[in-house]
Structure formats: structure tokens, C-alpha cells
A and B are shown apart, each in its own frame.
Chain A
């Protein structure tokens, strides 16, 4: 009989009875505290159900509301009784009715017997850990909390704010350094006795009575004054979600719990029959010395917290809808927007696909339909090419497209002939890189064979639209990577630009361009543009194109980069 158990119970009495029997069956005396909110009938029935067990006691009852002093008072009451009644105990283990022993209790006893002077209590100074939820860490110890957080949140928050505003601070008793940690501990008789019989206990109790969530700090702080050897960890596996609420274990956690090798876990769902039937597992000679290892459990629940707080970037769905000003991108992966290139190079799309292995779409936002990479009517994710459907929510069209194959790098062509509603979204998106050769729209007009007078109005319209887009891209709100050049600048050194685009899209896999894309024959373009000017329509976005149109398509000479091969 080397350790005894204090059990706090407020609900699920059938399960609590089962737990008491586990502990008592293994020879541990148990003192049960039942919340005073529980009706007398239920209480009596519960006490009656355990009357056959000689070493089970029930202590005086306190009201145990979450985050209040009652929980500490309850454990004090129970601990006093336990230490008095069973003088031979060396450790006291605090548990609840929802704490399930996973390993045989004998193994826990051996473990404690091997560490007779150690107190197992998670205890950290508030300055050093960011555990707390709600932003109150140090202030838990210096403010007053007369209002229940659960039931009167507004008053609670308002009163905290008021105290912060007037700079109110409680005095912390001398010698006390606030510590916090899991409320489930296992203390040695000596430490617990010292806490309960401390000559200053009245002062400490009066102080902690008004601290917020004292059950996470009372023993954690006072143990530091008396303990010989503190192991700052809990023997009870308890995980908390992002709001500080305990995670619940269900039947399908059985393997996870088995592998954890922890002694006790909480909280167990009351109807998790499989868990209650499986645990505690029977004795296993090979396992005796195994230390608890909750690594896998930690990871599973840490992932859950991440999913709840950060979510999956670029996903819009019915339970994740980040507001626009909270995000820097609507896309799950980087993508490229290319304006003007397919006007200059007729086979640009297939050439770029070959060079980079990226998904190269045509004009996704064309007026007639969305031109997907394979010109299909329905694309990955069952996205329709219908222009009306696309324009009904153009933003989500893009985020869906990229989410559906976010392992790929998407590129698409854009131009002044396309629907422009998306332009601000593109400009503000940190995942976008936008390459514009301004004035390239003049090339299809030139190649169409129509005279300058025929296309004058159309040219003016396209120029107006493109100019608007450029203004958006140049606004201080634009966050995409943006490179704008005029047609004249581009055709002076096209290969250098193309190489940069390829390197950016394909990353380290980018190859030196072997074969240049075929450029349209631009002989006569300067005269054509001059003719437009003569008719009063100045194509200022093309830049000043005069000479040197023929020498342009030679590949740049590039040194082979040094690549450290993995083989």
C-alpha cells in the first residue's frame, strides 16, 4: 500500500464506480470527492454502490465549478482525509472519474516505489511558457476574478479590462513564485503534508482563492516551496485543444493509447466501451520498466490544433472561409500569370509546358470560355469551362483550380481581351507572379491583315484595359511578384526574360533553353504602329519599336550550372 488516490467526481457515476474499483482492486485506498451540486439521491446511490469496498472513503463536499477555488478545496479536503486515514502511504495520486488507468496499477506502484522522493507535478513559471489560453498568464496571479468565465464572460472580460486600465495589481504573498501546470499530479506524502500544514496556509489559501483557475497553480506553486525532487510532468496523459479544453478519447484511440505506455489517461468518453474493456491492460513482464512515451499522441493532437487554428492554405470550404483582409493569398500554391507572351510566340503554351513541366493553361479568363491546359470542357475537380459560371465567382474559380492540383505549378495566359474582374485579386496575391509584356496585343491586330484604320478603335480599347491593369499592378497594395516590360524592351532580349520565367517556374529543375520558341514575323510592325499613330491612336504601351526585330530569337549562352548530384 504505497500510494493512494484522490478522485474528483461530478458526473458519469457508473464509470466513476468502475474506476474506483480498478484502484481499490489493486490495493490503493481511495478518497472520493463528489461535487456538492450533485443531488443527494444520486450521491447516496453512488456511495451505496461502493459500500463493499473497505478502503474507500468519501470526504466533505465542495462546489466544483470550472476554474474556481472549489476544485482546490475539494482536493485539500480529500488529501487531508487520505493522509490521516492511511498513514503508510508514500504517494498520493490525484485523478478524476474520467481518468482511466492504461497500464496495470501494479506497474504504476513499482514505478513510484522506485522513485520514493519524487513529486510528479507539471510546474512551470508563467514567464517561460505560452500555454495559457485567453492571454492571461501572469495576470492570473495579479488581478481579481469575481465573475465566472463560463457563465458571465462579458462581465469577466470587462472587469479584466478595467483592472488593466487602472493598473490594479494584487500583491503576491512573500516567497511565492507563481507556477502553473496540469492539475493532475502525484505528490509524495511529505510534500503534500508540508503544503497542508504550512504555517502560512491561511495566507496562501486566501490568496489563491482569488486567482483564476487555482487548480492549475495552487499545488504547482506551493510544491516548489517544499518538494525535495520535482519531476515537472504529469503521470496522467491529458491533451488540451486550442481553447484549453481537454481532448476526449474514443474507442478508435485504443491503439494510440496502447502505444503511449502512459499510466493513466483522460478524458475518456463515457460510452467508450472498448476503452473501458481494454484498459487497464493485463500485466506484461516485458513492459515493466518502460517509460511512458506520449510522442505519437502529442503529434496527433498537435495536428488537430494546427488544423483548427491555421487550416489548409488556399482551401475555401463550408467550415473554412478566411476573410479577405486576413489572408495574403487565395491560392494553395504559387502560380504564374503571363500577359502578352502568347501574342508574340504562337506556340508559347506548348513550348512552356515542354520547358518546365508545369500546367500551362491558355486564357483562363477569356470571354468565350475558360481555356484549360488540355482545352477540355471539364477540368480537374469537375470544373466547367463555362464563362458565366466562372465569372459568377472568378476568385473562387482560381482558388479551386489551384487547390485541385496544388502539387503542380499552374501558369495561365492573360490579356486585355479577357474578363478583368480578377485583376485586383491577382495583384494582391503573394502566390502570384505576374509577367506582362505591355502592348503585345498589337501583334494579333497587326497579323490579322486588317488595316490600321480598321483596328484603331479596337487597339484603343485594348490599350485602355491594359493600362488599367498596369495601374493596378503598380499600386502600393499589389503584393504579387510583378515584372512589367514594354514590347520594345522585351524583343530586344527575349531569351533572358524567358529564361528567368522558366527558372522561377521550374526552380532547380529548370534547364537552359535549348530551343527558342518561334516568334511571329514582326517585319513591318513599326510601320503599322506608326500608321496607328498617324490616325491619332498612340500605342504608348508598346514602347518605341524601331529596329532590330530579326536578331532577337537567338538563345542566350548560359553556363551549365553546377548541380551536386545525389548519386
Chain B
């Protein structure tokens, strides 16, 4: 209902959804002023085998909107309504997902999140979708893994089209902690470099890293808070409770680049993000937005197999 009302705030810029074939894997994304990131984003997900992008531009002031519109496999909507009042974009996405994703596998990510799943270097996302279908699995979990450079974040130079993980290719391998949300059954995961560097003295406020980005969508489904948890809550059970491992992936988070500093200041003033942009305020206060997250025990990213061995994701019974 809420999504329907909020859906009216969306204006179609280019609607190519007629080109969506019955088995296509779709990607949903909300962005704002991300022109610099979009080229690599589209490249990356096209290579994974995404068939159609459904993008929402939330009041961008740069060339990103035009760039996205020109892509042949993109449908674009625009809204200038406040991000915060649409539950951080979830309402708009829910509206589009209900309308276009019914019966499709849908990947919902931010522009700085890059999906990694077992065998992603040899099997397209369609293979994962087909295998999940064959196994009667409806939702697929991935943890958000913050990637950062060696040295101060502000000293990196990201240029349009670059692979962000050329520079931001380090991560924390083993400092994540989790509890179960009794109400919605999802895991609440925190930790990583942000908890360690920014939130060590107020860990409760550390950002959530649990995500359920890949879902075989049905009309009544909805994300509750970003892609952290869903309704109906059975979709949140992307983990095994008897000791086994379910198949899972990782969202590589390319947040910590030189673009981060300006962003933190901007978002802190804009205060449209979760809890009034509290997270961004903390960054802006703590480090003048130029933190160095690297430490002696940071791990350099190689591939998904490395993440599998470290226990950050799992092949489960996909072999």
C-alpha cells in the first residue's frame, strides 16, 4: 500500500521493461549523483549476466541520469522526493519490484555494491538462479564486505570507469559478529573496519552488514529496511541453524575511495540516510573524512575462493 502511494512519486524517464523476457535476471538500484561510478557498475553486472537494469535516480545533479538513460538495457525512473521519507528508497523499489519483478530473480544493490557468489568467475548469475530454483531456494544472502585502500582513503584517485577494487582491495577477514533478530528471524551482522575504526566505543550504532540482495520475487514480497531484511520473514532464513552452511555470497562494498570524504560531509548535512545520517556524521566528525582503515592484519582481495576459505561466504551444497 505504502509502496503504491510512494510509487506515484516516480516518473518514468525511459521505460524499456517491455524487453524483459520471462526468465531474465533483473537488477534494481537507487542512485544519486553517481555518474562517476555508473560505467563500471553496468560493466560489472553485465558481465555477471544481468539482463535488465531498473534504476531510480533520486534527484541527481550530475550527468549520471543521462548516462543511464542511454544504456540499451536500462529502464530509468526519476524522483526528487526525499530519500528518507521513502524509507531510504525501499518504497520506490518495492513498487517497481511488485510491478516488474514478479516471477523473476531480482538483484537489489547500491551503486557501490558488487555481488560475488560461489563460482562467479565461471558461472553466470543465470546459473545461480537456475540452481536456486532447482533447490527450491527463494532468497540468497550476502554479507556486505567493506573494501578499503592501503593508506588514507582520501589519497586514492578514482576515475570514471575504473575498477574500484584496483585500489580499494583490502578487507577485514575475521572480526564480524552477529545476533539473531527474534522478530524477523534475520541475522544482524556488524563488524569490519567501520565497527573497528569508527564505532568501537558505540558498537550498537555500527552499520548492519547483513543483506539479502538476490530474491526470486513474488508480488507480496518487500524489503523492510534497505536490503537487510524482508517480509515475509521466511525469506530472511538464508542461514542454517543446525550447523550446516547454506550457499551464500558477498557484496564487495566500494565505499572507501576518495569520493567518500566529500560524500560524508554532504550526506551528514543532508541527513536523509538511516537515523538522520548518523553514520555519515560519525565519519565526518571522527576523521575529517580521511581515515586510514588499513592495518597489519588486513587481507588483500584475490577472489571468491579466498573469501570461501576465510569463512566469509560459503559454497554450501553447490559444487
Contact = CB atoms under 8 A, between A and B. Distances in A.
Interface of A: 241-243, 245-248, 250-252, 269-271, 300-301, 303-305, 307-312, 315-323, 326-327, 376, 378-384, 386, 388-389, 392-393, 396-397, 400, 403-404
Given A309-B244, A315-B311, 9 more contacts: A247-B319, A250-B119, A250-B127, A251-B123, A271-B130, A311-B244, A321-B180, A389-B203, A404-B173
Nearest to A395: B177
A252 B123 contact: yes
Contacts of A307: 244-245, 314-317
B177 A252 contact: no
Most B-side CB within 10 Å, residue of A246, A319, A397:
A319
Contacts of A327: 243
A320 B239 contact: yes
Contacts of A269: 127, 130-131
Interface of B: 119, 122-124, 126-127, 130-131, 134-136, 141-143, 172-180, 187, 189, 192-193, 195-196, 199-204, 210, 238-248, 295-298, 311-319
A384 B298 contact: no
B148 to A, nearest CB: 11
A308 B246 contact: yes
Contact of A404 (B174, B192, B245): B174
Contacts of A316: 177-178
A317 B175 contact: no
Nearest to A379: B297
Contact of A400 (B123, B174, B210, B296): B174
Contacts of B201: 386, 388-389
11 contacts: A241-B317, A245-B136, A271-B126, A304-B315, A311-B243, A315-B245, A319-B316, A321-B187, A381-B174, A382-B192, A400-B175
Contact of B143 (A305, A312, A318): A318
B244 A381 contact: no
Shortest beta-carbon contacts, A-B, top 7: A381-B174, A308-B317, A319-B248, A304-B319, A382-B172, A392-B203, A396-B177
Given A271-B127, A304-B319, A380 B174 contact: yes
A244 to B, nearest CB: 11
A514 B7 CA distance: 77
Contacts of B241: 321-323, 326
A322 B248 CA distance: 15
Nearest to A318: B143
A300 B315 CA distance: 12
B319 A303 contact: yes
B242 A326 contact: yes
A309 B240 CA distance: 9
Most A-side CB within 10 Å, residue of B119, B296, B314:
B314
Contacts of B298: 382
Nearest to B309: A312
A251 B126 contact: no
Nearest to A309: B244
A388 B200 contact: yes
Given A251-B122, A303-B319, A312 B200 contact: no
Most A-side CB within 10 Å, residue of B177, B193, B241:
B177
A257 to B, nearest CB: 13
A310 B295 CA distance: 33
A330 to B, nearest CB: 12
Given A307-B244, A378-B196, A393-B179, A403 B174 contact: yes
B246 A382 contact: no
Given A251-B122, A318-B239, A397 B244 contact: no
Contacts of B173: 381-382, 404
Contacts of B295: 378, 382
Most A-side CB within 10 Å, residue of B180, B248, B316:
B316
B177 A403 contact: no
Nearest to A399: B177
B235 to A, nearest CB: 14
Most A-side CB within 10 Å, residue of B203, B204, B244, B313:
B244
B178 A396 contact: yes
B315 A252 contact: no
Contact of B189 (A271, A318, A383): A318
Contact of B297 (A246, A247, A378): A378
Most B-side CB within 10 Å, residue of A309, A317, A320, A382:
A382
